Amino acid sequence: MSQAHSLDLFSDQLSEGPAVDGGAAQMHRTPSPPYLQVFDLVKKYGTFSALDGVSLAIAAGEFISFLGPSGCGKTTLLRAIAGLDFQTSGSLYQDGADISWLPPDQRDFGIVFQSYALFPNLTVAENIAYGLENQGTKKHQIAERVAGLLNNVGLPGAEKRFPGQLSGGQQQRVALARALAPSPNLLLLDEPLSALDARVRVHLRREIKALQHRLGITTIMVTHDQEEAMTMADRIVVMNQGRIEQIGTPREIYENPVSVFVAQFVGTINLLPFTPCGPDTVEVAGLKFRCPHSGRHKGTGGVLAIRPEDIECTDVHDHDANCIDVRVESSEFLGATMRLKLVQGPDLALIADVPIRALRGSDIRPGQAMRVRLDAERIRLFDEAGNC
């Protein structure tokens, strides 16, 4: 349900204006070079490669999210971009300039760490003013800027308090204000919301996104929470074991994952081993399914993938249309949808998300028989290595 919800949000924003209209599309349109470019970045710890040849380009004003499981190298990549840890090889360009080997104090960025790293012995105002004081800004200007920033992050009047006296969410906002104070052109966020409880997190997500939108600041956010990435980012960089698996808008990533890894990591998906048989047809557990995109997998087996929401209840009795008879093994009520675990014989188990509306009037019980259809257009096939 949350998945559907977040996609709704995304489409809301789509209709708002062109700025969030997918970074990639925007870059094709604009001739200006990308704001940040990463070329073939490698980071080795001994023989272990934390980053194994990472390349990407980010347009000015984009909100990018690095998404991936723990230990995949997200933080390493972010710290290399910040210059906090140097890469083993590869180069970085920001605003056309080579910053590959510059120390952090010579780069242009603001950063919010997972721990916030607020200075506990300085007040909120002193924390935020920290980066302004050595720029020679006048006292009253600093005070104004601090007040403005606090307003912007939704904490007006918190100047005199110490970080320890604030809640986690408030500390997060202070850290954000401190990073934004010197008006950097690049904002780096390392799991900014992971230390907060679920409610605050959802709230702050929207706020950070709105703030980023308002300021138009190029932003990179590291997260291992796919929902966070989906709801906030213009484009998501999915990483796995030091490599980039896929770069794309949340919708592209969700609808057209390029690998089993991405498909599994973003959202829920059914994965069924298949063997090819005939044109546009594959066989799964003795059943034949039609899928118009099977051409590339002639002669080899692989994995058939279909999202739970692409399996629908039907009355039609048409085997050519991927209709199969199944039994309900268990059901889970999720609000707008019902998640059904369906089985067909001993070898085939499926998860289907059926809209509650489609089930009105019928009672779902374990053991009950029903007929479902796998949407042929939405079936994706991956080879044995898990790639397209």
Partner 1 sequence: MDTLYKRPLRAPFRAGPVTSGDQLLLRGLALLSALLLVVTILFPLYSMLAKSFHDASGLFIGLENFQRYFSEASLYRAVSNSFVIAGMATLISLLLAFLYGYGLTRTCMPFKPLFRVVSLIPLLAPSLLPAISLVYFFGNQGVAKELLMGHSIYGPIGIVLGLVIWVFPSALMILMTSLSMTDARLYEAASVLKAGPIRTFFTVTLPGVKYGLISAAFVVFTLTLTDFGVAKVIGGQYNVLATDLFKQVIGQQNFQMGAVVGLMLLLPAILAFFVDRYARRKQVAITGARAVPYSPKPHALRDRFFLLYCSLIGCLLIAMLGMAAYASFVTFWPYDQTLSLKNYQFDMMDGGGWAAFYNSLQMALLTAVFGTLFIFLTAYVSERCHGWRPVLNLIGGLTLLPMAVPGMVLGLAYIFFFNAPDNPLNGFYGGMTIMVISTIVHYYTVSHLTAVTAIKQMDPEIEAVGASLKVPQYRTFCRVSLPLCLPAVLDISTYLFSTAMTTISAVIFLYSPDTFLASIAMLHMEGAGDIAPSAAMAMVIVLTSTSVRLLHWLLTRRLSARLQRWKGA
Ligand X SMILES: Nc1ncnc2c1ncn2[C@@H]1O[C@H](COP(=O)(O)OP(=O)(O)OP(=O)(O)O)[C@@H](O)[C@H]1O
Determine whether 97 is exposed, middle or buried from the number of CB atoms within 10 Å of its CB (0-12, 13-18, 19+). Answer: exposed
Taking the least distance from each CB to partner 1, the nearer of 252 and 375 is 252
Site membership for ligand X, residue 73 (CB under 6 A):
yes
d(Cα 120, Cα 24) in Å, to the nearest integer? Answer: 41
Shortest distance (Å) from residue 34 CB to Mg ion: 24
Identify which of 332, 313, 319 has the alpha carbon closest to the alpha carbon of residue 370. Answer: 313
Among 6, 26, 75, 322, binds Mg ion (CB under 5 A): 75
The torsion angle over the Cα atoms of residues 7, 253, 199 and 149, rounded to 10 degrees, is -100
> Interface residues for partner 1 in 240-299 (CB under 8 A)?
none
Site membership for partner 1, residue 307 (CB under 8 A):
no
Question: For residues 74 and 44, is the Cβ–Cβ distance under 8 A?
Answer: no
Site membership for partner 1, residue 91 (CB under 8 A):
yes
CB under 5 to 8 A by kind: which of Mg ion, ligand X, partner 1, none does 151 bind? none
Pairing of strands 36-45, 48-58: antiparallel
DSSP labels, 113-132: -TT----TTS-HHHHHHHHH
Question: For residues 54 and 41, is the Cβ–Cβ distance under 8 A?
Answer: yes
Straight-line distance from the first to the last Cα atom of the chain, in angstroms, rounded to the nearest whole number: 27
In total, the chain counts a number of residues equal to 388
Q: Which stretch binds partner 1 (CB under 8 A): 30-38, 261-269, 296-304, 360-368?
A: 30-38
> Interface residues for partner 1 in 177-206 (CB under 8 A)?
178-179, 181-182
Site membership for partner 1, residue 37 (CB under 8 A):
yes
Shortest distance (Å) from residue 151 CB to ligand X: 32
Q: What angle do CA 75, 247, 95 make, to 5 degrees?
A: 70
Shortest distance (Å) from residue 254 CB to ligand X: 21
Among 3, 6, 26, 75, binds ligand X (CB under 6 A): 75
d(Cα 337, Cα 353) in Å, to the nearest integer? Answer: 6
Within 267-379, residue ranges assigned H as helices are 356-359
Nearest residue to ligand X, by Cβ distance, number only:
75
Site membership for ligand X, residue 41 (CB under 6 A):
no
d(Cα 306, Cα 352) in Å, to the nearest integer? Answer: 9
Site membership for ligand X, residue 76 (CB under 6 A):
yes
Among 8, 16, 98, 347, binds partner 1 (CB under 8 A): 98
Q: How many residues bind ligand X (CB under 6 A)?
A: 11
Sorted by sequence, the CB contacts under 8 Å of residue 67 that are 6+ apart come out as 74, 223, 224, 226, 229, 236, 237, 238, 239, 265, 266
Question: For residues 222 and 191, is the Cβ–Cβ distance under 8 A?
Answer: yes
Among 18, 29, 30, 121, binds partner 1 (CB under 8 A): 121
Site membership for Mg ion, residue 65 (CB under 5 A):
no
Site membership for ligand X, residue 294 (CB under 6 A):
no
Shortest distance (Å) from residue 116 CB to partner 1: 8
Site membership for partner 1, residue 45 (CB under 8 A):
no
- Interface ranges with Mg ion (CB under 5 A): 75
- Interface ranges with ligand X (CB under 6 A): 45, 50, 68, 70-76, 224
- Interface ranges with partner 1 (CB under 8 A): 24, 27-28, 33-34, 37, 39, 55, 57, 82, 84, 86, 91, 93, 96-98, 100-106, 109-111, 113, 115, 117, 119-122, 130-131, 133-135, 162-166, 178-179, 181-182
